[in-house]
Amino acid sequence: MACILKGMDHLSYPPDLTDKEWHLIEPLIPRVSKPGRPRKYSWRAILNAIFYVLRTGCQWRFLPHDFPKWKATYHYLWRWRKEKTGERIHTRLRERLRVALGREAQPSAGIVDSQSVKTTGVGGERGYGQCTTVIWKSIP
């Protein structure tokens, strides 16, 4: 399923960002403010690796070798979670989509559906007690 893309030094996987998606997300990624050694991997490569793990469910240590190293990828995911970068990207993209659809950027109402989570119709304790053991032993 993977294929080599021109101009890229790694394989392409289904969860990889397209050029159009990347151009939407790139300006939303925070820039490094403090000086230090230059990054070894591009932001796009890091995001593609994160999306690969999320989409396939593979363990971090089993990330294919043509992605950035798993520790670097996980480091940025952890850092972006802490800084709420994902939430900011999601909010900006949602607002942009709503405006493109002719709506207000911010939703005016929310809906909670009480039927979304199914629960058991029987309340109380459940399990195997003394009575259930007796019933099961008496069934031929």
- Per residue in 72-117, pLDDT (tens digit) is 999 999 999 999 998 998 998 999 999 999 999 998 888 877 666 6
- Tokens describing residue 137: 């032993």
For residue 66, what are the CA distances in angstroms to 41, 47, 135? 11, 13, 59
Percent of the chain with pLDDT over 70: 73
Q: Report domain extents, the chain.
A: 17-28+40-100
Beta strands in the chain (DSSP E): 3-4, 11-12
pTM of the model: 0.66
Mean pLDDT along residues 4-22: 71
- The pLDDT assigned to 31 comes to 79
